[in-house]
Structure 1
Amino acid sequence: MLSDHLRHLRRCALAESVTLLLLLCVAVPLKHAAGWPWGVNVMGPLHGLAFVLYGWRLLVTATYAGWPVTLTLRLAAAAFLPLGGWLVHRYVLRARTTLLALSA
């Protein structure tokens, strides 16, 4: 069901955004200010995994729903913004009925 795909897309978008923020706002400053590279060594791969999972989930959902390429590209571009996951989450929640109608 498309509603399940949308729910998983929202979760992956939030996970990607949270890991990016933790990497940029916690791990990198600790590495440079305190000489503690362990945070980047852990958060870097976690964020990479979350980023790949978000991209995969976006492609699966867009293919399943038959979304236009422009919508898919806009949602993919959001992954490169530190708060992009929250933007995707809000967009999918607000546009859920429209997105469900788009796939029908």
Structure 2
Amino acid sequence: MYWITAIIKPFKLDEVREALAETGVHGMTVTEVKGFGRQHGHTELYRGAEYVVDFLPKLKIEVAVSDTQLDRVIEAIAGAARTGKVGDGKIFVRPLEQAIRIRTQEVDDDAL
């Protein structure tokens, strides 16, 4: 099993959610986050004053997947989140040792 964390642009959430549903992913966690990478933020004007926005709004999607789903899920996220511009985000993949469904006590792939 694997734990996938993806950082994406907020307006891409619906496309990513639909792409994940097509791969058989039944649940995910979405968190509003702020950060920057190669974008380094940008400059904005507010009431005539210029200021720098260092941290840009992003969404963090977290999902647990089985070994057999891994490649399809990565492709689905990358394809749906891609705009071709700087700041599209990142996908991080980590091994997941164990998953337990609290209600039924199912473990590992059965818990996903």
* Structure number having the greater helix percentage: 1
Do the two structures share a fold, i.e. TM-score over 0.5?
no
Structure number with larger C-alpha Rg: 2
Q: TM-score, normalised by structure 1?
A: 0.29
Normalised to the residue count of structure 2, the TM-score between the two structures is 0.27
More strand by share: 2
